[in-house]
Amino acid sequence: MLECKTFAINEHKKILSSVQSYDIKDGETGELVGGAVENIGALTKILRWFMSKQLLPTTVEVREKPDDSLVFTIRRGIYLFRSRVEVRDAQGQLIGSFKSKFFTISGGFHVYDKDDNYFANVKGKMFGFNFKFLTEDGKVELGEVSKKLGGLAGLAKEMFFSADNYFLRVNPSLADQPIAKMLLLAATLAVDIIYKSESKGGIGVGDIAGD
């Protein structure tokens, strides 16, 4: 799965379900390469019907096809004003984390590696699923997420996908860096699963922008 240069992510639309799940496809070929699903306890599932999702913990497992082997997990504890989201590999080792921007009108989050070194800033429009991962100085684009692949070739490839897909393009310089790809893919999923629900709580509303 991590050999892909572009990922297409599609959420499963389920009626009366409190758990989110996604297909992950190769953005170049449309081949199903993995999936992501929330793995939460029975009590949390019940509480989601009565409490805001943003206040409750969640774990998302990302697995590779065809054998459904675990690639990484995304974990967030109880949300109190500012969340810390951890990304761990299949062995449970920390590979990075996300920290939401504290009391900013624009919201958003920062990405750090396992040693808490700055990896990327997320900038763009969260609700339209158009945003970029930039280095701390803003000079290098590590990845981009959008609803379109762009260009004539991209337009042709989009015919393989549904209208609900969004695409993560990874900078070619990261082609041989699976940990960096894990962090970018995890951050993309976190926007949809975690930060969009947090933004509804009033901490960050609208665009992901600023520091």
119 assigned to some structural domain: yes
At residue 162, the pLDDT reads 55
At residue 63, the pLDDT reads 97
Please name the residues in contact with 147: beta carbons below 8 A apart, sequence gap of 6 or more. Answer: 128, 129, 130, 165, 166, 167
Segments forming the whole domain that contains residue 21: 6-199
35 assigned to some structural domain: yes
* Contact criterion met (CB below 8 Å) for 8 and 24: yes
Q: Would you call 28 exposed, middle or buried from its count of C-beta atoms within 10 A (0-12, 13-18, 19+)?
A: middle
Task: Report which residue type is found at 58.
Answer: T
Q: Would you call 197 exposed, middle or buried from its count of C-beta atoms within 10 A (0-12, 13-18, 19+)?
A: middle
At residue 166, the pLDDT reads 86
Domain count, the chain: 1
At residue 83, the pLDDT reads 67
Residue positions counted in the chain: 211
CATH of the domain at 16: 2.40.160.200
Whole-angstrom Cα distance, residue 24 to residue 1?
9
At residue 116, the pLDDT reads 94
211 assigned to some structural domain: no
Do the bridges between strand 109-113 and strand 94-100 make them parallel or antiparallel, or are there none, so unpaired? antiparallel
List beta partners, residue 122.
133
Listed residue (22, 23, 31) closest to 4, CA to CA? 31
At residue 104, the pLDDT reads 45
Q: State the DSSP code for 54.
A: G
For the chain, 211 residues long, the average pLDDT of each consecutive 10-residue run is 92 73 90 91 72 76 95 82 83 92 58 94 74 90 83 48 77 93 93 65 34 40
Query: What pTM value is reported for the model?
Result: 0.81
Whole-angstrom Cα distance, residue 200 to residue 161?
29
At residue 156, the pLDDT reads 44
- Give the position of tokens 């892909």: 4
- Give the position of tokens 């997990």: 73
68 assigned to some structural domain: yes
176 assigned to some structural domain: yes
209 assigned to some structural domain: no
